Amino acid sequence: MLGLAGCSAANPAFDEKSAVGSDDGDAPTDGGTDPRPTTAGTSAGTATTTTTTDPSGADTSVLDTSPEDTGVISTTTNGTGNDDVPPQCDSVRAQLLPVSADTYLTSLDTCLPTCADQNFGGAHEGLVISAGGTSVMLLRFDELPVGIVLEASLELTVDVLNPPGPFAAASASVFADSCGWAEGEGPYANTKSAVGTATYNACAAPDTSWSLGAWDQEVGTTLGTTAITDMGSDLSLTIPLDPVETEQWIGPGFGSLVLTSEGITPFLVRSRDGGLPPTLTIEYCLP
């Protein structure tokens, strides 16, 4: 079992760094404001707009809107000789979408009161683990494109603080989000309540349960899995997503994903509060 730092009754915050054998001061323990500056990182605001040139001279275009506002990487219009656009599409757009909300749910027995009844929506990193307890990370994307999905991937910044064990991998699956989970602001200040926010035991603590009583009853199709092979901090991890399953997931126009761990290797996913939010990159046909 991993070495886990206990929490006192005066400080129920769970220190996700110490859970995997490292402590970089990620969460204040005095119930005060986190004094650290937000780490600048890659997000939709750093996407580069590009144009694909059609050698035939057919019209190609990129939207005039700024990528800092839209996350649009490129828009390519079909034309004779343009192999970048499949025949079933009039044009193809590549778009980067930052997560709009994220939190993690944990059943690890290291907090007083229990971690399973606490919210971690304000944590700078989300713990994902399947040994010695369970921790998963929820991601929500509010605006998703509509069209035939050609390629999709989920980009994460992770800390892997133990050597990866056999079959170590990260998986992204559809999450039903039956009650519209709230991100919350825990665990940095003891005065912040979990009431109305997502915890391991409740979709909106303490009274609104997850569908059928448990968060794992909301987990649907796995969109993609990728192996974890390296150890270190601030590693880039890309999970390729099945385009057909991704298209079905985004059909309603918005949705949630859940990140889970395969094998026994825990990892930490940088959250939007940590300055390097998970991002979804989708290449799709414009309707």
Q: What is the DSSP string of 67-91?
A: HHHH-EEEEEE--TT-TTS-TT-SE
For residue 216, report the phi and psi dihedrals to the nearest 5 degrees: -70, -10
* Cβ-based neighbour number of residue 22 at 10 Å: 15
Peptide bond preceding 113: is omega within 30 degrees of 0, i.e. cis?
Answer: yes
Pair of tokens at residue 145: 């494109």
Predicted confidence at residue 239, as pLDDT, reads: 98
User: Which one-letter DSSP state was computed for residue 64?
Assistant: S
276 CB-near residues (< 8 Å, 6+ apart): 39, 41, 42, 43, 157, 234, 270
Stretches where the chain sits below pLDDT 70 are 1-70, 78-84, 188-192, 287
**212 CB-side CA count, 13 A:** 6
The length of the chain, given as a count of residues? 287
Nearest CA to 284 out of 28, 60, 52, 91 is that of: 91
Q: Is the distance from CB of 269 to CB of 276 less than 8 angstroms?
A: no
Residue carrying structure tokens 């979408």: 97
C-alpha span between 111 and 9 (Å, rounded) = 8
Predicted confidence at residue 70, as pLDDT, reads: 53
Predicted confidence at residue 199, as pLDDT, reads: 94
Predicted confidence at residue 41, as pLDDT, reads: 34
37 CB-near residues (< 8 Å, 6+ apart): none
